[in-house]
Amino acid sequence: MPFALSYTAAADRLDFSLAQSLTVIALCALTALISNMALAVFNDGARPFLLDFIRGNTRRGEMTAVSFGLSAGFVFGLGAPMALSTGVLNPWLLFLPTDILGLLAPRRWLAPILGGAWGAVVVFGLSGANNAAHDLPVDFLTAMQEMATPILFLFLLFPVIAIASQFGRVLGAVAFVVEIAIVVISMKAWPDHFPGALAMAAGVLMLLGFALARDLRNRRAAAAPAPPKPADAPGAARIPLEEKADDKPAADPMASLFGANAERLRRHLPWFALLGAVLAAMVNLHIFGGGEATSFLVPKGDYGEAAQVDFYRAFGFLPLIATTALASGAFQIVGFTFVYPLAYLAPNVAVAAVGGAVLFSVEILALSYIGRGLTMLPSIRDASDHLRNAIGKTLEIAILFGAIAAAAKMGGGLGITLVGGLYLLNEAIGRPIVRLAAGPAAVVVAGIALNVLHWLDLFTPLKG
Amino acid sequence: MTKILVGGVGKVDVAERLKEIGGLEVVVTNDMDAATRLMAGQADYYIGTCHTGAGGSLGVLVGLLGAARCFTFGRGQATAAEAAAAVAEGKVAFGFSIDQIDQVVPILAGAIHERRRDG
């Protein structure tokens, strides 16, 4: 049956082989060690604060508090519910805690022990919880697979939303029509494949094309006589030349900061090569989804689709990761996330590991050039902000829709009341759980509640 | 008029909210440009948003202005007292999570107005 009409994920259980468990534990030990050395953290928000930590202006305790404050919500609000509902591991569940544990460890040798222990908790604890949940009379984890269709088929539109918010309604409408046309044609021409892949590629290319065109146009405009008040023109006066006349330092402070930080990362290149290798090996075992959408594709075995989705997603994060890395002297634990597509597609663990090591080395060495390029092309940086915003918005709708579908499947009207009600309650009390995870978390809570009601003889499970 | 630079993932939404509140000059830009302008004294404040409330929000600002001039509300909500204290301490760059825009922006704008009136 065509892909678009029959998309249901396999009812997967979290069962990790010994080799898989050991790889996850080894990776968690390594990422905690690297976080302890302040070489890389996964949380993009914590990274800017590492600069003062590396310079010795922030104490370990304060840094740990910052990291914990920025990460905890994503571990319990995004990573854990996603892992429970998809049956595969994700970076929020593994690497946010190892960020915190690595920064917390007062002695270097303690960091890998704490990290490895977290890895063990995840592999053994999660598989236990997951398998227990599947055996309940109301199987809410199987119902959760209703999420896959809305996520896949709305996510493919994220470049359109980004184009509309950055370049206005005309180009937004054009991009929408182009993407839908490509989806329709793909469904006809290759019925067995995910029809969004090509559409997403076209969308991202359109966005990058529009952004480049705008930058080149602005550059030409800037070459003409400058307006009298450059500070008021958005995007103008990138480095105010008139300021150099007075006592301000002649050297660009941004360039010198970026240069020193890039040099620090290059000095530790072997560590990053090792990290890239172990990370790619783990991802290649197909027990891990790198993004929100891929967490639903990997358990189904659609590695080709997963690779494409995460490849396009990476463009939303590349400028953010490059900028925060250059501004802080610490890299992203998963690099520019290109390691995900590489490792999904690698034919075996050895190839993945070698590829991961090479990829991370290249990323570290290219960092300075990427930073310089981004300074010259502000619209590309803007485009990535809009891309990430669009990814968030499309997934928000898709995941909420999927959660309601899952609720209907496991509990009919009562299910919708419980899941929709919990979602709205979370909104009303200031959103302690991030919107992206509120739906899946509500399904888990409602599923447990329905099982209790069933046990009290107050609810009869629907037969699917 | 107080000049506020806006950047990060939800910059369009933040700018709209600020314009609704009024009384501030709002410029949509990005963290790199904002750092340059704040250091040159061409603007008064920067407001950034992202998913964590710090990474894409503050970005290079922490490195260039120093952590002492930057403040993050994280993913949480803001209280008027918290915002007023941060502004009074001389923080100029603020970051928070995009899903709290409707809640944080009015409070932060209020604190900045207050500060302005007190001189």
pTM reported for the whole predicted model:
0.83
In A, residues 171-230, which contact B (CB 8 Å cutoff)?
none
Confidence of residue A13 (pLDDT cuts 50, 70, 90): low
Confidence of residue B63 (pLDDT cuts 50, 70, 90): confident
Q: Considering only the beta carbons, identify the residue of B40, B57, B63 that sits closest to A257.
A: B63
Residue A202 or A239, more confident? A202
ipTM of this complex prediction, to 2 decimal places: 0.79
Question: Residues near A436 by Cβ (< 8 Å), separated by ≥ 6?
Answer: A78, A292, A392, A395, A396, A399
Residue A139, Ramachandran bin (φ over 0: left; ψ between -120 and 50: alpha; else beta)? beta
Do A158 and A203 meet the contact criterion of CB atoms below 8 Å apart?
Answer: yes
The pLDDT value recorded for residue B118 is 67
Mean of all residue pLDDT scores within chain A? 85
Here the CATH number for the domain that contains residue B30 is: 3.40.1400
Distance of CA A151 to the CA centre of its chain: 14
pLDDT in tens, A49-79: 898 899 888 899 989 988 998 888 788 777 8
Mean of all residue pLDDT scores within chain B? 86
Mean pLDDT score, A379-402? 87
Q: ∠ CA(A166), CA(A169), CA(A175), 5° rounding?
A: 80
- C-alpha span between A164 and A94 (Å, rounded): 34
Pairing outcome for strands B25-28 and A331-332: unpaired
Q: Considering only the beta carbons, identify the residue of B8, B39, B59 that sits closest to A48.
A: B59
Is B64 close to A257, i.e. CB distance below 8 A? yes
Overall residue count recorded for chain A in this entry: 464
Is A375 close to B56, i.e. CB distance below 8 A? no
The pLDDT value recorded for residue A11 is 47
Closest CA in chain B for residue A167? B12
Is B32 close to A238, i.e. CB distance below 8 A? yes
Q: Residue B13 belongs to what domain range?
A: 3-118
Q: Considering only the beta carbons, identify the residue of B39, B53, B56 that sits closest to A385.
A: B56
Give me the residues paired with residue B96 across strands.
B49
Distance from CA of A10 to the nearest CA of B (A): 31
Residue A167 has pLDDT above 50, yes or no: yes
Is A235 close to B29, i.e. CB distance below 8 A? yes
Is B55 close to A320, i.e. CB distance below 8 A? yes
Residue A5 has pLDDT above 60, yes or no: no
Q: Considering only the beta carbons, identify the residue of A51, A73, A240 that sits closest to B63.
A: A51
Do A37 and A54 meet the contact criterion of CB atoms below 8 Å apart?
Answer: no
Give the residue from A145, A144, A266, A160 showing the smallest Cα distance to A204: A160
The pLDDT value recorded for residue A251 is 61
In A, residues 224-263, which contact B (CB 8 Å cutoff)?
231-232, 234-235, 237-240, 243, 248, 253-254, 257, 261
Is B103 close to A430, i.e. CB distance below 8 A? yes
Number of domains in chain B: 1
